[in-house]
């Protein structure tokens, strides 16, 4: 038996059988290691994010990211891990020709400069809104504001230490401007 370290096997980049459609609304969601930090009610940022996105199954498509990119349904967000390479998710989103993108993050990416370049390319195709989720943090909030400005979109800050996941769900719904489930024709 070898004493060499083993490499962690890369996870699948998509949920089997799931493919985010082109020309759709996309949620680009941060699932980096920092999303395991505690928020309100004894929940982590990740748990708050998952609870807030679950009602959007079938209504919005999700690109989750850390140091990898995952196209997943809103009720199957991978566990947080790794670094925050937002640029990879923005480049993946750009390939899908979205109508609108909502980036949800705690605003602490690996490379703000790379992320801004990717956002500029994506903004040629769609509007980018940015939703900061985390505790009050001027530097991280400012970065998310810059993304929204690049994308000609809206910015909103959501303090997970003082608000409920239902309020986060309402905020996401308002920023996506999706129809209510009772009006969706299947």
Of the chain, the end-to-end C-alpha distance in Å amounts to 55
Position 16 in a domain: no
Position 65 in a domain: yes
Residue 166's CATH number: 3.40.50.410
pLDDT at 20: 57
Rounded Cα distance, 104 and 92, in Å: 15
Position 54 in a domain: yes
Rounded Cα distance, 141 and 131, in Å: 9
Position 13 in a domain: no
CA dihedral 139→147→155→141, nearest 10 degrees, is: -10
Mean pLDDT, 10 residues at a time, over the chain (186 residues)?
34 49 79 89 89 86 94 92 95 92 91 96 95 88 95 91 83 74 43
- pTM of the entire predicted model: 0.84
- Taking CA atoms, 157 is separated from 94, 114, 115, 123, 175, in Å, by 24, 22, 19, 21, 12
Q: Which domain holds residue 102?
A: 25-177
- Number of domains into which the chain is organized: 1
Position 183 in a domain: no
């Amino acid at each position: 038996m070898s004493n060499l370290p083993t490499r962690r096997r890369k996870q699948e980049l998509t949920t089997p059988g799931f493919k985010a459609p082109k020309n759709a609304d996309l949620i680009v969601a941060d699932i980096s290691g920092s999303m395991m930090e505690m928020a309100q009610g004894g929940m982590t940022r990740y748990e708050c994010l998952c609870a807030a996105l679950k009602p959007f199954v079938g209504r919005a498509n999700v690109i989750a990211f850390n140091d990898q990119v995952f196209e997943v349904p809103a009720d199957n967000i991978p566990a947080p891990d790794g670094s925050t390479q937002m640029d990879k998710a923005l480049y993946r989103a750009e390939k899908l020709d979205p109508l609108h993108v909502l980036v949800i993050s705690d605003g602490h990416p690996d490379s703000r400069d790379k992320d801004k370049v990717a956002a500029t390319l994506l903004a040629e195709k769609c509007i980018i809104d940015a939703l900061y989720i985390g505790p009050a943090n001027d530097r991280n909030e400012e970065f998310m504001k810059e993304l929204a400005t690049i994308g000609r979109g809206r910015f909103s800050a959501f303090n997970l230490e003082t608000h409920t996941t239902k309020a986060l769900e309402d905020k996401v719904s308002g920023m996506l401007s999706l129809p209510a489930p009772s009006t969706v024709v299947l």
